[in-house]
Structure 1
Amino acid sequence: MDSKKTSLLSFAIGAPIGCLGGLIGLGGAEFRLPFLLKTFNKPAKRAVALNMLISLITVLSAIYFRMNNFDISIILPQILLMVAIIVGSTTGAYYGIGISTKISDVLFKKVLLILLLVMGLLLISESFITLGSMGITFSNLYMELIVAVLCGVLIGIISSLLGVAGGEVIIPILILIFGIDVKLAGTMSLIISLPTMVVGITRHTRNKMYSVKSELTSLVVPMGIASIIGASIGAFLVVYAPSELLKIILGALLIFTSIKLFTEKE
């Protein structure tokens, strides 16, 4: 595929996925990864690295556009919780990428596709968690923060292995364990994911995953620009769109895609 066709296709794929970032509070990497593997024929480890770079652009854009329609003050009481999760997630991301470099490409691809399947199930499950705040009653603040750090480690490992922002994991954790409202959880998940992705991108850079300049210019840049445009549209539609139904549909598509990729012959 020549660079011009790659750029156009990257832009066309990036825009709707970026829209999801602004609409739901996701980086959209779960839906981008199958395209990187299948459409652009990237090796699994390189696809994950490129995915994370584009996810960072999408998440930054989604945060910016969502904040324009969001009362930032309601996040302030959750700062300590967010910091604890970030401490765990950055640690998990660091060691998760270390693990990924030590396994074969074939095994790594199988791990990716299984995680995609799980992400699809989580996305569908999360669409039903809309009945107000749930959460666990912790005996004290220290116990809550310890649990937050452990949850963060899990988030970081999954994020590093898939190259994702991790919203499908972060949002259910915030709602089910910490009793955060679903709308607030979407914005918090975007903020929490930022340091995790920065750690991941730093390690991928050290592993020379961004050494092919043509991939950056013809794939990452156009898909990143499209993601910014899509995120602005998604943030505008967040008040109007039936996001819960959208999550069910997208989760089902993700499961279908992961099964199809998993059953294909190498």
Structure 2
Amino acid sequence: MTKPRQVFAFVGGAAIGALGGLIGLGGAEFRLPLLIGPFRFRALEAVILNKAMSLIVVATALPFRAASVPFAAVASNWPIILNLLAGSLVGAWLGAGWATKLSSRNLYRILAVLLALIAGALVFGHGATTASAHLSGALLIVAGVIAGFGIGIVASLMGVAGGELLIPTLVLLFSADIKLAGSLSLAVSLPTMIVGFSRYSRDSAFGVVTRNKAFVLIMALGSIAGTFIGGRLLGIVSDQLLIPALSLILVASSVKVWRHE
């Protein structure tokens, strides 16, 4: 691994981590086009590498947030976490299995569509601070399982944590406070990502992680540093400007990935 590639991996990871920190995400959605584009990994390899680095970022993000959202507050909402996990774990396993069987062309197309959909989720789902739960009892549980299942599939197919979908779900479906939703999202994402990652480990393409250990470590360190910095900048940059700009980046990335061969 050349020195310029190492520097680019760290700087790229830090920039993406900062973007993610600013909006409460791990930044995997922005990392994926970078892995496929400038670093020229194949679609499935990029998804697996993205999953590996996202796992590291998610595992460290929850402790970073403990000062604002104590672990006790997260633990007290264990019914919501288990509700979403009941669907997301199954979805993560199935999504990873489907990804390993898809042709590169079809996987590129699916990733492109998902990037565009996530851009929409950022615009319409982020920033919601209040919600009235219209469902309760068994209906709410069923809705949570279905939502978790869909999010698990998307997270596994893209190698992301799924926070951009989980946070709006937690706010709109379970009426969670936006800050608490961010930590609950991490609590759901971590086991979901581990399940998807373990499924990918059964495929020969998983060797891309061991072949690129130095790359994974350097970019993950950059992502963690960037997420920390982004969190500190949160009070400076306005969501009203940031969210549309990031959504446009995702749409542009979607078009680029769609055209990738």
TM over 0.5: yes
Q: Please, which of 125, 132, 135 is the counterpart of residue 135 of structure 1?
A: 132
Over 3 Å counting, the alpha-carbon distance change for 1:37 and 1:96 in structure 2 is same
Shift of 1:83: 1.1
Over 3 Å counting, the alpha-carbon distance change for 1:101 and 1:210 in structure 2 is closer
Q: List aligned pairs for 1:80-229, cutoff 5 A.
A: 80-127=79-126, 129-130=127-128, 132-140=129-137, 142-212=138-208, 213-217=210-214, 219-229=215-225
Q: Distance in 2 between matches of 1:169 and 1:244?
A: 19
Q: Distance in 1 between matches of 2:206 and 2:243?
A: 31
Q: Deviations over 1:119-157 (max 9, x none)?
A: 111112123x43x321333242x3322221111100100
Amino acid at match of 2:245: I
> Structure 1 stretches of 5 or more lacking a match?
none
Amino acid at match of 1:262: W
**1:34 maps onto 2:57 in alignment:** no
Q: Deviations over 1:141-190 (max 9, x none)?
A: x3322221111100100001111101111111112222222222122112
Over 3 Å counting, the alpha-carbon distance change for 1:245 and 1:135 in structure 2 is farther
> Structure 2 stretches of 5 or more lacking a match?
none
Over 3 Å counting, the alpha-carbon distance change for 1:69 and 1:175 in structure 2 is closer
Amino acid at match of 1:115: L
C-alpha contact (below 8 Å) 1:61/1:231 kept by paired residues: no
C-alpha contact (below 8 Å) 1:22/1:63 kept by paired residues: no
Shift of 1:239: 4.4
Q: Distance in 2 between matches of 1:64 and 1:39?
A: 32
Q: Distance in 1 between matches of 2:182 and 2:60?
A: 14
Q: Distance in 2 between matches of 1:32 and 1:178?
A: 29
Dislocated runs of 4+, deviation >6 Å: none
Q: Distance in 1 between matches of 2:71 and 2:132?
A: 22
Partner of 1:209, secondary structure, is helix
TM-score (ref. length: structure 1): 0.90
Over 3 Å counting, the alpha-carbon distance change for 1:71 and 1:238 in structure 2 is farther
Q: List aligned pairs for 1:10-89, cutoff 5 A.
A: 10-89=9-88
C-alpha contact (below 8 Å) 1:36/1:47 kept by paired residues: yes
Q: Deviations over 1:1-38 (max 9, x none)?
A: x5322211110100121223433321211100001111
Q: Which one is further off, 178-187 or 85-94? A: 178-187
Q: Distance in 1 between matches of 2:136 and 2:29?
A: 36
Shift of 1:240: 4.5
Q: Distance in 1 between matches of 2:185 and 2:79?
A: 14
TM-score (ref. length: structure 2): 0.92
Q: Distance in 2 between matches of 1:106 and 1:27?
A: 26
Q: Distance in 2 between matches of 1:145 and 1:139?
A: 8
Shift of 1:75: 2.8
Q: Distance in 1 between matches of 2:136 and 2:12?
A: 47
Q: Distance in 2 between matches of 1:178 and 1:240?
A: 29
Over 3 Å counting, the alpha-carbon distance change for 1:117 and 1:242 in structure 2 is same
C-alpha contact (below 8 Å) 2:69/2:179 kept by paired residues: no
Q: Distance in 2 between matches of 1:135 and 1:191?
A: 23
C-alpha contact (below 8 Å) 1:59/1:194 kept by paired residues: yes
C-alpha contact (below 8 Å) 1:27/1:56 kept by paired residues: no
Q: Distance in 2 between matches of 1:46 and 1:206?
A: 14
C-alpha contact (below 8 Å) 2:26/2:227 kept by paired residues: no
Q: Please, which of 238, 249, 256 is the counterpart of residue 234 of structure 2?
A: 238
Partner of 1:101, secondary structure, is helix
Corresponding residue of 1:247: 243
